């Protein structure tokens, strides 16, 4: 994630509720357009088990922020891992084809 994503921040913790586990993830694309493209690509994929994992995404100031909550650590890990795989693919696609390419 060279040119498109310059900074990644992760903060995981345990919550005092039914949704016992959470993780906050932020990627700085330094471009509102690139962050919005990645958001749009990832927003169509809904959680497979919404009763066990929640995911909320926002874009602000060229940063994609994602908040996960889960009822068990294994659901959080699985959801987070799958999300990062797709995020990496979207980011690499922008790096390869997004710079100077006319749509």
- The tens place of each residue's pLDDT in the chain, 103 residues long, gives 444 556 666 666 654 457 789 999 999 998 999 999 999 999 998 888 889 999 999 999 999 999 999 999 999 999 999 999 999 999 999 888 876 544 3
Q: Domain total for the chain?
A: 1
Query: How far apart (Å, rounded) are the C-alpha atoms in residues 44 and 39?
Result: 9
Query: How far apart (Å, rounded) are the C-alpha atoms in residues 13 and 48?
Result: 22
**Residue range of the domain that includes 68:** 7-98
Task: Tell whether 1 is covered by a domain.
Answer: no
Task: Tell whether 2 is covered by a domain.
Answer: no
The pTM for the full model equals 0.76
Residue 42's Cβ-side half-sphere holds a number of Cα atoms within 13 Å equal to: 27
């Amino acid at each position: 994630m060279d040119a498109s994503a310059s900074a990644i921040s992760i903060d995981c913790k345990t919550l005092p509720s039914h949704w016992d586990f959470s993780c906050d993830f932020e990627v700085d694309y330094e471009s509102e357009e690139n962050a919005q493209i990645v958001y749009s690509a990832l927003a169509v994929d809904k959680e497979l088990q919404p009763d066990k994992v929640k995911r909320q995404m926002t874009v602000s100031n060229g940063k994609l922020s994602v908040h996960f909550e889960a009822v068990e650590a294994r659901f959080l890990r699985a959801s987070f891992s799958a999300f990062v795989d797709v995020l990496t693919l979207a980011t690499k696609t922008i790096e390869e084809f997004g710079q100077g390419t006319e749509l």
